Amino acid sequence: MRLGDLTTPALVVDAEALESNLAAMAARWPGETLRPHVKAHKTTALAARQAAHGATGFTCATIREVEGMAAAGLGADLLLANEVLDTRRLGALEDARVTVAVDSPETVEAAAAGGVREVLIDVNVGMPRCGCRPSDAGALADRARAAGLSVRGVMGYEGHLQAWPDPDERAKLTQTAMELLLAAHADVGGDVISGGGTGTSACNPWVTEMQAGSYALMDSAYTAAGVGYVQALHVLGTVVHVSAARPDMPAYAVADVGLKALGMDHGNPSVPGARVWFCSDEHVTFAADDPVRVGDRVLVIPAHVDPTVAYHDRMHVVRDEDVLDTWSVDLRGW
């Protein structure tokens, strides 16, 4: 199959760019020191490529992701890095090692009641999301152990720093965040200090395992933050309308990649060689530097990779105009 044969909008992954991102992160975080986050791609075939580059454990965001990874034979060491209260499906999983983040008495009790065996104490390191106070981590670990759970260590996600524009400041703030995590770890014990993401993967030497995810496919928000990985994912679209310049309106074109095909929480997508005006449900409207015609194909770069992928059933792996493979986005859903 050729690129031109694909029905649009379609996710396309540049095979060379993907492999170069996987190799670069694996060089920085080899073997079990990298625990790639599958929420960024939701695709077990891509996770298998990360395993081929040396990763043995993976980070998941949903129970569905844990189940799908286990079913794909990639369940040697799965971390559900989110709090869950209904853990029955996790406890029922066979042939997978599953560790769950807990940050409260309620989530500890839910893990024990559902048959989960191993947990990490999730510590808030500065982002107003989940995680206990660092000073509460030790007591929570005691409570988990008393409930029969094995506590492997701590996790703390410095999500608020991932796209911090100034890299020196990002590094300093990451250190401050990780000092909180290390203090909690001193009270909790265990072998694991888990955290990090694409944006801090070069400036967080404090974790024992790096949870980065977006680096594999990338997006324009991370590129703008200068994190050092290349854009591997595009949404292929077709130009469905062009409008010549009029006295009251400059020329523009419209392609079939709208906000239902793109995660828009980090802003508009970009189109190389064009200025994007706006997205509507099914359309992106843009002004191109060079003339475009109805039927032309365009490659749209999403501003946020994770929600973009989650809108699609499959991604096509391409080299130039050739479609080499089609991977199911099989971890979609909950």
Instruction: Extract the tokens encoding 223.
Output: 């590129």
Contact between 304 and ligand PLP by CB under 6 A: the answer reads: no
Give least dist CB 228 to ligand PLP, A. 12
Q: Which pair of structure tokens corresponds to residue 277? A: 């005006």
Find where tokens 């709208």 sit: 258
Task: Determine if 204 is a binding residue for ligand PLP (CB under 6 A).
Answer: no
212 near ligand PLP, judged by CB under 6 A: yes
Helix, strand, coil percent values for the chain (each to nearest 5)? 35, 25, 40
Residue 154 touching ligand PLP (CB under 6 A): no
How far is residue 317's CA from residue 325's CA, in Å, rounded to a whole number? 5
Q: Looking at 159, 237, 263, 302, which residue binds ligand PLP (CB under 6 A)?
A: 159
- What contacts 131, CB < 8 A, 6 or more positions away? 103, 122, 123, 124, 125, 156, 157
Residues 6 or more apart whose CB falls under 8 angstroms from that of 186 comprise none
**Distance, CA of 54 to CA of 37 (rounded, Å):** 14
By CB under 6 A, the residues from 242 to 281 that bind ligand PLP are none
Decide if residue 198 touches ligand PLP (CB under 6 A).
Answer: yes
Segment 75-114, which members bind ligand PLP (CB under 6 A)? 81
DSSP state, 75?
Answer: -
Does 157 help bind ligand PLP (rule: CB under 6 A)? yes
CB-nearer residue toward ligand PLP: 214 or 268? 214
Count of positions on this chain that bind ligand PLP (CB under 6 A): 15
Measure the CA–CA gap between 89 and 66, rounded to whole angstroms: 10
Report in angstroms how near the CB of residue 82 gets to ligand PLP at its nearest: 7
Whose CB is nearest to ligand PLP?
A: 197
Task: Say which DSSP state 302 is in.
Answer: P
Residues 36-70 as b/e (b if ≥16 CB within 10 A, e otherwise) read: bbbbbbbbbbbbebbbebbbebbbbbbbbbbbbbb
Between 147 and 225, name the residue whose CB sits nearer to ligand PLP: 225
Measured CA to CA, the distance from residue 41 to residue 263 in angstroms comes to 13
Binding flag, residue 214, ligand PLP (CB under 6 A) = yes
Binders in 17-46 for ligand PLP, by CB under 6 A: 37, 40
Q: Which of 162, 220, 231, 268 binds ligand PLP (CB under 6 A)?
A: 162
* Site stretch for ligand PLP (CB under 6 A), options 69-77, 92-100, 157-165, 172-180: 157-165
- Rounded least distance, CB 258 to ligand PLP, Å: 24
Q: Are strands 233-243 and 252-255 parallel, antiparallel or unpaired?
A: antiparallel
Site string for ligand PLP, 108-147 (x = CB under 6 A): ----------------------------------------
Q: Looking at beta carbons only, is 234 or 283 nearer to ligand PLP?
A: 234
- Residues near ligand PLP, by CB under 6 A: 37, 40, 59, 81, 157, 159, 162, 197-199, 211-215
